[in-house]
Structure 1
């Protein structure tokens, strides 16, 4: 019965993927893109053929779904949707290899923002729309959408969400996880709608406004234009993009509390305050170094704030060649690649709360050196945190940097210079997309060998699932009691 329910959920998700692809199929019909009509129809038909039997099965027996099962299922889901999402790219008739198609699909669902395509404006518009849609649904999480519909299968879903985002802080904001999923999707959709409207006011057409809104609220960095947001050369568009990149990097549970009038919960949130402080300090330092470059405080603030928000939130969307900036500005941006956004947000990276926990623990160790018999604890949100959180955070960061080191070595062995290899490893593990060197402001990954692209794709999935979900599958202890 457990195996039956396992595959039933897996195939049910394919039905969700077909629904996600439907708007892109309609776009292909509207723009009369015959090749894309066939590509989307084939992929949707394949997905539905697998999903329909799971919906009409007679065995609708509720099952307690453990976190242990969730780890395996979530990893398979992200691999499967990335493979299925690659089919439209491969069948588009634009010469995209399956390796590059899988890379593009994975970048979308993992909201990494990198690309192997030099001329995106040559792609069919429906495929560009699909590219943006994968970012949008990947941002909030396919799992979260699935969990909202889990009652159809008689399966509880909190274990899936825990498996997808196993960070140091996980909570339900309502008694039922399906209600939580729906509320978070409403917040997510509201931010997207607001940003779309603002882009329309800024002069974008409806297609570009919608595609860019999908990507920015998901903390992804791709665009429908080869030059990205540089194409518009608009201070207004850059400004609102900066604001929404920062908003996307905030814990979405705080939005719910804000709407419920629990302002104290928001204002006292330790991670949010640290997130804002990091942004202000980094943007301020960069702006000071850019005043001589741009000749005015306004321009310096515009570019500094945008690029700081872009990398801190792991959106990875450039509006200028920051590799020509002064060394100090580049160093600050490089440092931000190690941080990331807030927990339970669409951003990737190590996450601010983990850095905050270690920062507070470092302070405790300094005080313990002065007062050996003192008892010190890490306080978050004005509450005393559990001691095991510190251990968990330390373990995660060790694993994170180990992955970065291994990916760096493998990439360097393929012939890429060591600095570019390190930046690429950071960019894909943290889902930032852009970095320095070979993965600089263009975020172009097409020059890497095919086996490196597959490595990057798998690492992006692991990074999107915050590593533990994937790496626990390599533990012999996991398989003993599955």
Structure 2
């Protein structure tokens, strides 16, 4: 284990976190809020801890293995979350440490689940920091670090693979640093475009910024108690479109940049992703048409909620908890499917679902024709056995964590729908669940042990499970 390099990386993460907090501090100064000084105190603490960790005898061995990459990512996200929760505790905005940690982890993991019953009571600087954590966590803080720091050595890809969502990560260009820059370039451009369109729709600058952060990171923290319900149809439509856009694999956008538009549009995951969205919108629109009386209004809200749930953003225009059971069932299924690999969305990922479906088809064919030889293909290329194996292992680990989490949360003795969807909403980084944790409610009713379990689930879901699980395996810390 390359402890020196892990320490060096965590030190830089804390330094970057201090920089990430500075816009929120400026917002606090603009609005003359006392809570701004809680942010400033946390910035200083991050630097006091982070700077010595970076300067303390720079590591000689730059190359480290996949295990080191996973551990670095897991510990970095824990450190990021703990320090990010301090402004809420110090300012008294969220005085209970576990509640503050829940809210912060929900922000960085782009989950959007909240323990707050009155969001609008928070100071502006805290609302800004709360939403900005979505934008920071959306693409990944270590990916951001790779674009900035002059690092050398063979660990870049291990860091990117450990933090990036999806079954596999590919380089767009020969160097990982250039790939990271392209990813963030696309991310920033899409964010600026959404911000501009919201401002054109006469949304206040503060609202436009915070909602863009939530949309880009597919997080879903709103700054109003009704989430997105009080905004105009135009503004809601812009957010719908960009939620879906941020749920697309960024590889597709890179192909578009290379003017390989036809190749990008032929991407199997993209077609499956858009097909699922369109099918779900049509099914829900038909099911809720009578509730709204206007088919266009039904389509608008169905499109928003489908886009919000499948991309794991979690915004809401209406309380979909009051929709018919069929529509709620469709939304719950979308929670598990999630967005595309290589996007800012959570969930199992569309590419995994497609490969699993093809695996089932292959097995059925094998039963009918035992001597036939066939390979699973994606975009015309054979899928390596190692990728299929990793997907199967991921699914097993995912189901085990899900089962144990439900068992522990059930000790709170709430109804099954609340228990089941509270875990679904957190491990898939969705935001709202159903019933007592629905879009018009919050997670504040849960006990401290349940909140700690869901904090673990949010981190596990964002980091694709294994970087977090490895922290609890004794062999990870042993020297061989």
Kindly state the Cα deviation for residue 474 of structure 1 after the two structures are TM-superposed.
3.5
Distance 2:360 2:310 in 1: 23
Q: 1:373 to 1:152 in 2, by over 3 A?
A: closer
Kindly state the Cα deviation for residue 113 of structure 1 after the two structures are TM-superposed.
0.4
Distance 2:408 2:92 in 1: 32
Distance 1:354 1:382 in 2: 16
Q: 1:349 to 1:95 in 2, by over 3 A?
A: closer
Distance 2:233 2:362 in 1: 44
Kindly state the Cα deviation for residue 382 of structure 1 after the two structures are TM-superposed.
1.2
Kindly state the Cα deviation for residue 52 of structure 1 after the two structures are TM-superposed.
2.3
1:149 aligns with 2:148: yes
Q: 1:480 to 1:92 in 2, by over 3 A?
A: closer
Correspondence 1:463-482 to 2 at 5 A = 463-480=461-478
Tell me the equivalent position of 1:306: 304
Tell me the equivalent position of 1:158: 157
Distance 1:474 1:32 in 2: 44
Q: 1:152 to 1:162 in 2, by over 3 A?
A: closer
1:131 aligns with 2:130: yes
Counterpart contact for 2:88–2:94, Cα < 8 Å: no
Tell me the equivalent position of 1:245: 243
Distance 1:145 1:133 in 2: 14
SS at match of 1:435: coil
Counterpart contact for 2:310–2:338, Cα < 8 Å: yes
1:283 aligns with 2:278: no
Counterpart contact for 1:429–1:463, Cα < 8 Å: yes
Distance 1:9 1:293 in 2: 53
Counterpart contact for 1:411–1:452, Cα < 8 Å: yes
Identify the range of structure 1 (122-131 vs 322-331) with the bigger mean alpha-carbon deviation. Answer: 322-331
Tell me the equivalent position of 1:193: 192
Residues 64-86 of structure 1 deviation map (CA, whole Å, 9 limit, x = unaligned)? 02111011111111111100000
Distance 2:274 2:222 in 1: 26
Tell me the equivalent position of 1:119: 118
Tell me the equivalent position of 2:393: 395
Correspondence 1:195-274 to 2 at 5 A = 195-232=194-231, 234-274=232-272
Cα RMSD, aligned residues only:
1.8
Kindly state the Cα deviation for residue 305 of structure 1 after the two structures are TM-superposed.
0.7
1:432 aligns with 2:434: no
Unmatched runs of 5 consecutive residues or more in structure 1: none
Identify the range of structure 1 (384-393 vs 116-125) with the bigger mean alpha-carbon deviation. Answer: 384-393
Kindly state the Cα deviation for residue 268 of structure 1 after the two structures are TM-superposed.
2.0
Unmatched runs of 5 consecutive residues or more in structure 2: none
Distance 2:167 2:93 in 1: 43
Kindly state the Cα deviation for residue 339 of structure 1 after the two structures are TM-superposed.
0.6
Residues 382-411 of structure 1 deviation map (CA, whole Å, 9 limit, x = unaligned)? 111112322221221121121111111101
Counterpart contact for 1:104–1:115, Cα < 8 Å: yes
1:326 aligns with 2:324: yes
SS at match of 1:53: helix
1:25 aligns with 2:30: no
Distance 1:84 1:6 in 2: 18
Counterpart contact for 2:62–2:152, Cα < 8 Å: no
Residues 342-376 of structure 1 deviation map (CA, whole Å, 9 limit, x = unaligned)? 01111001001111001111111222222111111
SS at match of 2:470: helix
Counterpart contact for 1:74–1:164, Cα < 8 Å: yes
SS at match of 1:200: helix
The TM-score, its normalising length taken from structure 2, stands at 0.96
Tell me the equivalent position of 1:315: 313
Tell me the equivalent position of 2:5: 5
Paired residues, number? 480
Tell me the equivalent position of 2:335: 337
SS at match of 2:444: coil
Distance 1:278 1:311 in 2: 12
SS at match of 1:318: coil
Counterpart contact for 2:165–2:346, Cα < 8 Å: no
Distance 1:341 1:189 in 2: 19
Correspondence 1:22-61 to 2 at 5 A = 22-34=22-34, 36-56=35-55, 59=58, 61=60
* Pick aligned residue for 2:454 from 423, 435, 456: 456
Identify the range of structure 1 (214-223 vs 394-403) with the bigger mean alpha-carbon deviation. Answer: 394-403
Tell me the equivalent position of 1:421: 419
Counterpart contact for 1:33–1:124, Cα < 8 Å: yes
